[in-house]
Amino acid sequence: MKDFKKIIKETSRSNRIVAGFNVFGYEEAISVVKAAESIHAPVILMTNKFAVNHMPVEYWGLLLKKIADDAKVPVCVHLDHTQDPDIIARAIHSGYDSVMYDGSQLPLNDNIYYTREMVDYAHKHNIMIEGEIGSVGYSDLSENIYKSQFTDPEEAGYFAEKSGVDMLAVAIGTIHKLDKPNAEIQFDRIAEIEKATDIPLVIHGFSGVKTEDIRYLKGHQIGKVNIGTAIRQAMGYVLRDGYINNPGVYDRMAFMADAIEAAKIQAENKIRQLWYE
Where do the structural domains in the chain lie, given as residue ranges? 4-275
Is-contact 128 150, C-beta < 8 A?
no
Per-position DSSP letters for 6-45, written without gaps between them: HHHHHHHTTT--EEEEE--SHHHHHHHHHHHHHHT--EEE
Q: Is 48 exposed, middle or buried (0-12, 13-18, 19+ CB in 10 A)?
A: buried
pTM assigned to the model: 0.94
Sign of CA dihedral 208, 244, 32, 168: positive
The CATH classification of domain 4-275, taken from the options 3.30.70.100, 3.20.20.70, 2.40.30.10, 3.30.360.10: 3.20.20.70
Asked if 175 and 202 count as a contact pair (C-beta separation under 8 A), the reply is no
Amino acid at 154: E
Q: How far apart are CA 179 and CA 19, in angstroms?
A: 18
Cα 159 from chain centroid (whole Å): 20
SS3 helix, strand, coil % of the chain, rounded to 5? 50, 15, 35
Please count the other Cβ atoms lying within 10 Å of the Cβ belonging to residue 232: 20
Distance CA 138, CA 121 (A): 29
pLDDT in single tens digits along all 277 residues of the chain: 468 999 999 999 999 999 999 999 999 999 999 999 999 999 999 999 889 999 999 999 999 999 999 999 999 999 999 999 999 999 999 999 999 999 999 999 999 999 999 999 999 999 999 999 998 877 665 444 667 789 999 999 999 999 999 999 999 988 877 667 777 889 999 999 999 999 999 999 888 898 889 999 999 999 999 999 889 999 999 999 999 999 999 999 999 999 999 999 999 999 999 999 7
User: First and final CA of the chain: distance in angstroms?
Assistant: 27
